[in-house]
Chain A
């Protein structure tokens, strides 16, 4: 299931985004973030990715923003 959701994102990363100039305000980019988030959190990761996309808007200043790893949340 997780593979199914991340497949189109991975396709985008491999075939579409390399051809375009970088535009994401964050590091890692929204698409990388989405792949990591969905692989770690499943459906919840989808929501996290959506929220990341919303945060990546013209009024934000971007920055470094990794998916919080599961171990850290557990503590």
Chain B
């Protein structure tokens, strides 16, 4: 296990140290700000690497426009059989070599990095400190006293008596729960093509989100160093922002957000003279008005 993870320790610690060295002249070498922002930087780099995957997924969601008549047909045909409905839907996606669903990969890909960060930060918090990856004694000493809102970034809720650490942990767990909740809620209410899921299911989902997520985050969060919680919160925030942008600017065809955008654009077009208007907007509005015609867009 150690030999597999060693390259990851090196990569994670190298990224953190490099960003830390860049930030040191601004915030100071031993400042908690430089160390916390190094972790934030690690998140940003990983999420930027994952952006192409996200774009790919968005593109295949766009391709659904062409499939909408088929999808409606399936929904109508198997109204009372959810299993058959999902089955046929998946067949349709496969046939057209497009799939709007993200798969677990973006989450699973982050798991080893998350684990590596956990180990590296835990090492810093040990007495005496354990140096993983490219960390030197100097780095470890500096990082061990670095504070995030007064709480040492390598401390855990369970491993300390400092009240500040406990308060900061609770705040971060709350932030994690909140971002997960809003992200999922936004996606379900606005971002997904309307399915005839019953109200009952929606309610159940929201209940679970309200109780289960904070609970799960709390149970795992008390064992994690503050730095890992910073990583987790930041990556959640990024997910939320990314999704917010897409739902506003580039929503999935058939979703409530899509319809809203179309209405807005149609409205805008009504005021501005259509002939002098910018071409792409014009085209998209037209596409919405007589959708069946626009099938040629599908490649």
* Residues of chain B in range 200-214 having any CB-CB distance to chain A below 8 Å: 201, 204-206, 208-209, 212-213
Interface residue B53 (Cβ < 8 Å from any Cβ of A): yes
Is B13 part of the binding interface, using a Cβ–Cβ cutoff of 8 Å? no
**Is B26 an interface residue, CB under 8 A from the partner?**
no
Q: Beyond A24-B101, A25-B99, A27-B86, is A62–B93 a contact (Cβ under 8 Å)?
A: yes
Residues of A within 8 Å of B57, CB to CB, are: 58
- Contact in complex: A18, B208 (CB < 8 Å): yes
Proximity bits, B163-199, A CB within 8 Å = 1, else 0: 0000000000000000000001001100110000000
A-B CB proximity, top 6 nearest? A63-B94, A19-B208, A27-B90, A19-B209, A21-B187, A62-B99
Cβ of A37 within 8 Å of any chain B Cβ, yes or no, is no
Task: State the majority secondary structure of interface residues on B.
Answer: helix
The digit string for B84-109, where 1 denotes a CB below 8 A from any CB of A, is 00110111011001110111111010
Bound form: Cα–Cα A25–B194 in Å: 18
The residue on A at minimum CB distance from B191 is A21
Known contacts A15-B212, A19-B213; decide if A58 and B105 are in contact (CB<8 Å): yes
Interface, chain B (partner A; CB < 8 A):
53, 56-57, 86-87, 89-91, 93-94, 97-99, 101-106, 108, 184, 187-188, 191-192, 201, 204-206, 208-209, 212-213, 216
* Residue contact A63 to B205, C-beta cutoff 8 Å: no
Nearest CB in chain B: distance from A29 CB, A: 9
Residues of B within 8 A of A62 (CB): 90, 93-94, 99, 101, 103
**Chain A 3-39, CB within 8 Å of chain B: the 1/0 string?**
0000000000001101111111111001000000000
Bound-state CA distance A66–B188 (Å) is 27
Chain A residues within CB distance 8 Å of chain B = 15-16, 18-27, 30, 53, 56-58, 60-64
CB-defined A-B contacts under 8 Å, sample of 12:
A19-B205, A19-B208, A22-B101, A27-B90, A56-B104, A58-B56, A58-B106, A62-B90, A62-B101, A63-B90, A63-B93, A64-B90
Task: Note all chain B residues with C-beta closer than 8 A to A19.
Answer: 184, 205-206, 208-209, 212-213
CB distance from B259 to the nearest CB of A (A): 18
B208 lies within 8 A of A56 (CB)? no
Chain A residue contacts of B212, Cβ below 8 A: 15-16, 19
| Contact in complex: B204, A18 (CB < 8 Å) | yes
How far is B48's CA from A48's CA once the two chains are assembled, in angstroms?
A: 32
Residue of B nearest to A56 (CB): B103
Let me know if A26 and B90 touch, CB within 8 A.
Answer: yes
A64 touches B104 (CB 8 A): no
User: Contacting A18 at CB < 8 Å: which of B97, B98, B101, B205?
Assistant: B205
* B residues in contact with A56, CB < 8 Å: 103-105
Contact of B105 among A18, A20, A57 (CB under 8 A): A57
